[in-house]
Chains A and B, each alone.
Chain A
Amino acid sequence: MTDPVLVFDLLLAAAVVALAVASLSVRDLFMAIVLFITFGLLSALAWVRLSAPDVALAEAAIGTGVTGALLLKTLHHLRYVTGTLDRDPPPSVTPATPVPAPVIWANAAFCGLITLGLAAAFLGAPQAGPGFDPLVAEALPASGVEHPVTAVLLNFRAYDTLMEGVVLLAAVIAVWQIERGLSDAPAPALGEIFDGFARLTLPAIVVVGTYLLWKGAEAPGGAFQGGAVLAAVGLLLLLSRLYVPQPAHRGVARWAFVLGTGVFAGVALLVAGGGRVAFEYPAEHAKTLILLIEALVTISIAVTLAALFHGREPVALPSSGGKKDA
């Protein structure tokens, strides 16, 4: 009699791989996105089975929820520019010209390199033994927080987390530069029922996002998970058109984009001196500083992800004659 949990784990692993293959090989883009979202949800479940609830939360909120919404929004835009919106059955959007072979080979080479790197890291890591758990547990009292993952992310390896913020910042800068002047696909009218749904769930999402952020100090949760959940507030506001981005709001948005990364880097540098190096928070203020950084990073992540979902910078288009209603 085999362990039923093992059977479940094997089925889960097989399903994750099968969904990844299916998502890459299917020709219809909508189907690919749906398969990708399913893949993300099952991956989150796999992280739960690996006793990594922090990663599971991040995978579910960012890797599946926000990324899925970004992909669907992109598909909507693609169908708009190719004039295939609202057709039944929606024709799959396939590029008019096939992808050039050098691009395919370059992509394959980079993906291969990453796979090789992961394989080398996996094979090079010690296969048995305690790993870093004892080290983290030993240093935990000095970190200012009670949850080991938060201690690693915001204190011991804070530099990595700062760089993740920089990546998001770079993404939104690039999107605002590239999409400047592109016309926007009309937002679909979702109707009264969706508006009611948005009004009902918005306050709850705000509470859940803030709870995830606050809880991150002692339990799974934190800035990225809370930020992604709060980004859903922005998505709902944009989709229900309760909030319409205006050109005049760009200044506030820019400040919100850099707020988290800026304060994070500022605090990291300011605590240096007096025998301490950068990122070495004074022990008595560590918890306050970490919570301050996490709170501001959460705001930045939420605003940045919502802005990425909206896509183009809300500039006044000369052709549309004035303010843009997106």
Chain B
Amino acid sequence: MLEFLAAALIGLGTVFFVAGTVGLLRFPDIFCRLHALTKADGLGLALIALGVALLADGAGEVFRIALIWFFVAVAGATCGHLIASYARRVKAEADDD
């Protein structure tokens, strides 16, 4: 039962990754693409981490998976912010010229 639940969660997480990838390939500009990527992989990774945590044997492993999820999510959000602010700044400078 636990395995099925875990597989379902991991599968659902993968769907979010695929959706994010499609968004990255199909959306028109950098901000839309970033939106698709950061939202999709943040939620996708959370679901996959949850699924893997169900299969982990022990509190230590669950804790490490939670830490990995937390830091990847924070790093992803920060990178998204950095790329978006850089793109905005460069665009503003290009408009000034």
Interface presence of A200 (CB below 8 A): yes
Which listed residue (B75, B82, B91) contacts A190, Cβ 8 A? B82
Q: Is B94 on the interface with A (CB-CB < 8 A)? A: yes
- Measured in the bound complex, the distance between the Cα atoms of B76 and A197 in whole Å is 11
Closest to A197 in B: B78
What are the 3 tightest A-B residue pairs by CB atom distance, in nearest-first order?
Answer: A197-B78, A88-B90, A88-B94
User: Which residues on A sit within 8 Å (CB–CB) of B85?
Assistant: 191
> Is A113 among interface residues, defined by CB-CB distance under 8 A?
no
Query: Which listed residue, B71, B81, B90, B91, touches A204 by the CB 8 Å rule?
Result: B71
A200's contact among B74, B82, B89, B90, by CB below 8 Å, is which?
A: B74
User: Residue B90 contacts which of A87, A191, A194, A197 (CB distance < 8 angstroms)?
Assistant: A87
Given the contacts A190-B82, A193-B81, A88 and B75 also touching, CB distance less than 8 Å: no
Point out residues on B near A: beta carbons under 8 Å: 67, 71, 74-75, 78, 81-82, 85, 89-91, 93-94
User: In the complex the two chains form, what is the Cα distance from A193 to B74 in whole Å?
Assistant: 10
Q: Are B81 and A201 in contact (CB under 8 A)?
A: no
The listed residue with most A CB atoms (<10 A of its CB), out of B78, B89, B91, B94, is: B78
The majority secondary structure among interface residues of chain A is helix
- Are B89 and A86 in contact, CB atoms less than 8 angstroms apart? yes
Residues on B with beta carbons closer than 8 Å to the beta carbon of A87: 90, 94
The chain A residues found within 8 Å of chain B, CB to CB, are 86-88, 190-191, 193-194, 197, 200-201, 204
Cβ 8 A contact of B82, one of A86, A88, A194, A204? A194
| A88–B93 alpha-carbon span in the complex (Å) | 9
B81: chain A residues at CB < 8 Å are 191, 193-194
Assembly CA distance A86 to B96 (angstroms): 13
Q: Which residue of A lies closest to B80 (CB)?
A: A193
> Complex formed: what's the CA distance from A219 to B34 in Å?
38
Q: Is the CB of B78 within 8 A of A86?
A: no
Nearest CB in chain B to that of A204: its residue? B71
Known: A201-B71, A204-B71. Contact between A88 and B91, CB under 8 A?
yes
18 contacts between A and B (CB under 8 A): A86-B89, A86-B90, A86-B93, A88-B90, A88-B91, A88-B93, A191-B82, A191-B85, A193-B78, A193-B81, A194-B78, A194-B82, A197-B78, A200-B74, A201-B71, A201-B75, A204-B67, A204-B71
Q: How far is the CA of A194 from the CA of B85 in the complex (A)?
A: 11
Q: Which residue of A lies closest to B90 (CB)?
A: A88
Q: In the bound complex, how far is the Cα of B66 from the Cα of A204, in angstroms?
A: 13
